[in-house]
Amino acid sequence: MIARFLGKYIPGNPNIVVQNMPGAGAMVAANYVYKVAKPDGLTLGGVRAGLYFDQLVGRKEVQFDWPKFTWLGTPTQVEQIIYMRANTPYKTIHDVRQATVPPRCGASGTASTGYLLGNLLEETLGAKFNTLTGYKDGPEVDLAVEREEIHCRGISLETLFGREPLISWSKNGFVRVLIQTGKSATRSCLMFRPSGSS
């Protein structure tokens, strides 16, 4: 959606070509922008701001240097949620805190909302989540929820009410929102590798 309008605001009104790169919570895309794309300022990446933490903790998969990216803007500011299958014993966040066996949640990578939100709740509320990473993308995590391989997933509120099967799941009670963030939410970011970066 951004690509349809972005060219109007760049001198010369260039065409923007979109190339989706799912994988590892946008790690694949960030690594591509940094290591493969020419450093001429013509390649933009829409990645999760949480990728910064992957570099900070020294994950071996990181092939970028976050400070060498330049932030262009943030397309959304939305609330984050964790949805839970309705047939689980985890009806409230208190149930998760008291559980002897933590719920299994899915995430595409350690920079994804699902991973970061679950860890935040562990650190702040003492809620325990067993977050499984490595899913290719969000729909693959949703499929794992449908198959009962996992119980929950952290996503944006707009995603929950923005696409199937999540819309139907919310309407028919297959999932419920376990927790939702307040006014300050995590954000995705739009960045690029500036000209001449190494």
Q: Supply the pTM of this predicted model.
A: 0.60
Encode pLDDT of 76-107 as tens digits. Answer: 677 888 999 999 999 998 999 999 999 999 99
pLDDT computed for residue 161 by the predictor: 83
Q: Identify the CATH assignment for 80-180 out of 3.40.190.10, 1.10.287.3510, 2.40.30.60, 3.30.70.3150.
A: 3.40.190.10
Give long-range contacts, CB 8 A cutoff, 24+ apart: 58-64. 59/110, 61/24, 61/27, 61/31, 62/27, 62/31, 63/31, 63/34, 63/35, 64/30, 64/31, 64/33, 64/34, 64/35
Alpha carbon distance 83, 105 (integer Å): 9
- Compute CA 5 distance to the chain's CA centroid, rounded to the nearest angstrom: 23
The model's confidence at residue 190, banded by pLDDT at 50, 70 and 90, is very low
On whether the CB atoms of residues 109 and 26 are closer than 8 A, the answer is yes
